[in-house]
Copies of this chain bind each other. A is one copy, B any other.
Amino acid sequence: MPGEAGHILRLHLFHVLQTLSPHTAELDVGVPARGLHGEAYRGHVFWDELFVLPYLNLHFPEVSRALLHYRHRRLPQACRAAADAGRAGAMYPWQSGSDGREETQTFHLNPRSGRWLPDHSRLQHHVGSAVAYNVWQYCQASGDTDFLHTKGAEMLLQIARFWADTAVLDPDHGRYRIRGVVGPDEYHDGYPGAGRPGIDDNAYTNVTAAWVLDRALELARTLPEPRRRELFERVGLDRAEPELWEDVSRRLLVPFHRGVISQFDGYQELTELDWDGYRARYGDIRRLDRILESEGDSVNRYQVSKQADALMLGYLFAPAELAGLFRRLGYAMDDDIWRATVEYYLPRTSHGSTLSELVHGWVLVRARRAEAWRYCQEALLGDVADVQGGTTGEGIHLGAMGGTLDLVQRGLTGLETREEALWLDPVPLPEPSGLSEYRFAIRYRGHWGVALRVRAGRLWISVPDSEERPIEVRLADRSLTVAPGESHWLPLPSG
């Protein structure tokens, strides 16, 4: 990428590879939110790998694999956590240190008010879906069925089990509900004045849980039979469980209001914030939670998000896959609803997390393809400045750095690895910047250096000669198979 954005990309690449490379793959420390040197967050591991692995999968799959091993080593601990909570399967921790126990603080300080407040962010059980997503993405990009059928399967099935056991059928709705959780948006850890923590029917949590259950079913179908028998026996899975998964995966509740996806049940009943008033009064309002609490109010009362929540779905899934997920759940979620959802949450988000700008970048690149390059550059520039308000000095934000690399790589090219194929759907080149071509190379399913080049209206793909299997390629308007040793210029559909 030309100009300042190019410099920033190199800076991000440096930091990502300094923390996550073949040289550090065996450290068994996961993807610490602040890299290996930042002191912030006490070195804890959150879900940042969700933003870093998609990049690594296409360049250093062995590093991705090692990072998934990190999660697999802590699977027994996650199963113990689920059992302690009275649930089946694996409940991965929101924050963890070396041994995989839940280490999220139960109180935190609001420096603005000087008060210690209860912290319910450990209810972010969606972190389990992030682990499952990474397992699947890694296996799709690398073709590593050995991992998928062994450690990958063990994680995926236990995470699916947790969701199936956590979802409760509500006869009034005829749908399953997941209640008492916190979504990616940490501003909302409960209903205003409620006696219990957590919110219900978080759209992000439920849609990703449905996806996890669907993948677990797909895996159970495609596992070689002797392995399936052995694994089901080992984890004590009876034949009835997949039937429950099937049912839950098709009937999880996703709330809507006024033609948009609701962040969670009841979100629309919350008060609208006087954004202009608060901006005028406080200037930087990225940490509205602290401001409101210091005023004796609570951010839980408002339609305000710290970071992308429902819109996170637009990061994990490209539009076609996302629409398919909703269809499977029995909801008609078309481009109009999605665009309206994006419009709805953009102005209601305070960007209190470095990941937020990144996710919005992804969403905009995909939803407004003609302007994609601009959004991509904005996401890059936004991250290098210390926008989130003062903690960059305590360590880099690894997720945001890896995520912007990936936004350039997969976002601009519409690259996806799913259904055993390589999907490509480049956004139009930026005009009139003068950039007439860009190129990069990836590792994909045993192929080293698959070369991709994008020019106006066409795409070059070159698969180096080898004894690996041909690559299935899906463009927006057709499919083809590219064998090792072949190169093609492919015309792209216009628009």
Contacts and interface: CB of A to CB of B under 8 A. Distances in A.
Interface of A: 26, 61-62, 73, 142, 144-146, 149-151, 222-227, 230, 441, 446-449, 464-468, 484
A146 B149 CA distance: 16
B226 A449 contact: yes
A464 B464 CA distance: 33
A464 B226 contact: yes
Given A26-B73, A73-B26, A226 B441 contact: yes
Nearest to A61: B146
Contact of A224 (B73, B145, B227, B449): B449
A322 B151 CA distance: 38
A61 B61 CA distance: 19
Interface centre among A150, A224, A447 (most CB of B within 10 A): A224
A222 B446 CA distance: 12
B146 A464 contact: no
12 contacts: A26-B73, A142-B146, A144-B146, A145-B446, A146-B446, A149-B446, A222-B466, A224-B446, A225-B449, A226-B448, A226-B449, A227-B448
A363 B330 CA distance: 66
Contact of A150 (B62, B73, B149, B224): B62
A466 B222 CA distance: 6
A225 B446 contact: no
A152 to B, nearest CB: 12
Contact of A225 (B26, B142, B466): B466
Which A-B residue pairs are the 7 nearest by beta carbons? A226-B449, A224-B466, A227-B448, A226-B448, A224-B448, A225-B464, A226-B464
Contacts of A62: 146, 150-151
A465 B224 contact: yes
A73 B145 CA distance: 24
Given A62-B146, A224-B464, A226-B449, 15 more contacts: A61-B146, A62-B150, A142-B146, A145-B467, A145-B468, A149-B446, A222-B466, A223-B466, A224-B448, A224-B465, A224-B466, A225-B466, A226-B448, A227-B448, A227-B449
A408 to B, nearest CB: 21
B145 A448 contact: no
Contacts of A447: 224
Nearest to A69: B26
A491 to B, nearest CB: 26
Contacts of A73: 26
Given A466-B222, A468-B224, A448 B230 contact: yes
Nearest to A485: B225
A182 to B, nearest CB: 33
A485 to B, nearest CB: 9
Interface centre among A142, A145, A146, A150 (most CB of B within 10 A): A146
Contacts of A466: 222-225
A74 B225 CA distance: 37
Contacts of A465: 224-225
Nearest to A230: B448
Contacts of A26: 73
A470 to B, nearest CB: 13
Contacts of A448: 149, 224-227, 230
A230 B448 CA distance: 10
A221 to B, nearest CB: 10
A419 to B, nearest CB: 12
Contacts of A61: 146
Nearest to A467: B222
Contacts of A142: 146
A142 to B, nearest CB: 7
A146 B146 CA distance: 11
Contacts of A467: 145, 222
A228 B174 CA distance: 58
Nearest to A420: B467
Nearest to A227: B448
Contacts of A144: 146
Contacts of A230: 448
Contacts of A449: 224-227
A346 B58 CA distance: 54
Contacts of A468: 145, 224
A449 B229 CA distance: 11
A223 to B, nearest CB: 8
